[in-house]
């Protein structure tokens, strides 16, 4: 089992490391800009070249069954699901085959509304409840996959 993290702007890296340490699971943080190095032995840092979807492509090419992909990028979550991995957003939302189509459609609609000026694209504020929900969801997912 591996936890792959789309680490650019990921707000829950500390929570991921807490769960990984508790369960002894390896984590790969993938980013196209500098991350603060970790001396944690479960962590591997991967720096990919800058460019659209380079980090997503790196993760999607490696993730597979029994892996977990943490990302706010819905197309990456969809690719992870197709590879057999579990995909989860930073708020603890678990993407499934049953809900990914709706998530992709909502993303496309929101993008269209932003492009036409109908929406300014504000995201809800990320708070302590989101962190707590994520921490619980990731802990449950790792426990379930470890069985």
pLDDT one-digit tens code per residue, 86-102: 999 999 999 999 988 88
Token pair for residue 113?
A: 């509304």
Q: Which positions ≥6 away from 144 have C-beta within 8 Å?
A: none
Domains and CATH numbers, the chain: 2-146 (3.40.50)
- Asked if residue 124 has pLDDT above 80, the reply is no
Asked if residue 104 lies in contact with residue 75, where contact means CB atoms within 8 angstroms, the answer is yes
Q: Hey, is 68 helix, strand or coil?
A: strand
Nearest-angstrom CA–CA distance, 83 and 65: 7
pLDDT one-digit tens code per residue, 17-60: 999 999 999 999 999 887 787 889 999 999 999 988 999 999 99
Q: Hey, is 33 helix, strand or coil?
A: coil
């Amino acid at each position: 089992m591996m936890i792959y993290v789309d680490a650019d702007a990921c707000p829950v890296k500390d929570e991921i490391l807490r769960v990984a340490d508790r369960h002894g699971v390896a984590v790969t943080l993938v980013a196209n800009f500098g991350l603060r190095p970790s001396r944690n032995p479960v962590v591997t840092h991967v720096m990919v070249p800058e460019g659209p979807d380079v980090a997503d492509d790196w993760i999607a090419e490696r993730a597979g069954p029994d892996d977990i992909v943490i990302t706010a990028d819905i197309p990456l979550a969809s690719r992870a699901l197709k590879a057999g991995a579990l995909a989860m957003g930073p708020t603890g939302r678990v993407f499934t085959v049953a809900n990914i189509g709706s998530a992709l459609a909502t993303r496309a609609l929101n993008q269209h509304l932003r492009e036409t000026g109908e929406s300014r694209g504000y995201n809800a504020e990320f708070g302590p409840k989101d962190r707590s929900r994520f921490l619980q969801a990731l802990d449950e997912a790792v426990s379930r996959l470890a069985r």
